[in-house]
Amino acid sequence: MFEGTSQCIDCHLADYNGTTDPDHEAAQMSTKPAECHTTSNWDATFDHQTTAFPLTGQHVQTACQQCHIGGVFEGTPSQCIDCHLADYNGTTDPGSRGGTDVDSLS
């Protein structure tokens, strides 16, 4: 920290607000840079593919904040039905009504 400041964001708010990949402000990401960045490697190196929910299909193109509502990353639901219940309930194709496990659907 520098004299007269207590948080990184005190000097770097414009950087935070101007970041678009991903859009930190829209995703309501933390304003504590050390949660994703280091002073020796500013580029965040988060790789979703190494998590319990690797991104595939349409999830690759989905904006972070669509799943991580309010910038909350811990405890995000990971079962298909958690996010797609309305789609499931709204389908008129009986073949898709075989269960809530997407891998079992025809």
Per the domain annotation, does 64 fall within a domain? Answer: yes
Per the domain annotation, does 3 fall within a domain? Answer: no
Token output for 90 = 């709204």
Per the domain annotation, does 70 fall within a domain? Answer: yes
User: Which residue range is the domain that position 32 belongs to?
Assistant: 9-96
Per the domain annotation, does 106 fall within a domain? Answer: no
- Residues 65-101: tens digit of each pLDDT: 788 887 777 888 888 888 888 888 888 876 655 555 6
Candidates 83, 37, 75; CA nearest to 58 is 83
CA distance 18 to 59: 24
The widest CA-to-CA distance across the chain, in whole angstroms, is: 66
Long-range contacts: 51-58, Cβ < 8 Å, 24+? 52/78, 53/78
Per the domain annotation, does 101 fall within a domain? Answer: no
Per the domain annotation, does 27 fall within a domain? Answer: yes
Overall number of domains in the chain? 1
Per the domain annotation, does 42 fall within a domain? Answer: yes
- Residues 49-68: tens digit of each pLDDT: 888 889 999 898 888 878 88
If pLDDT is split at 50, 70 and 90, which confidence band does 106 have? Answer: very low
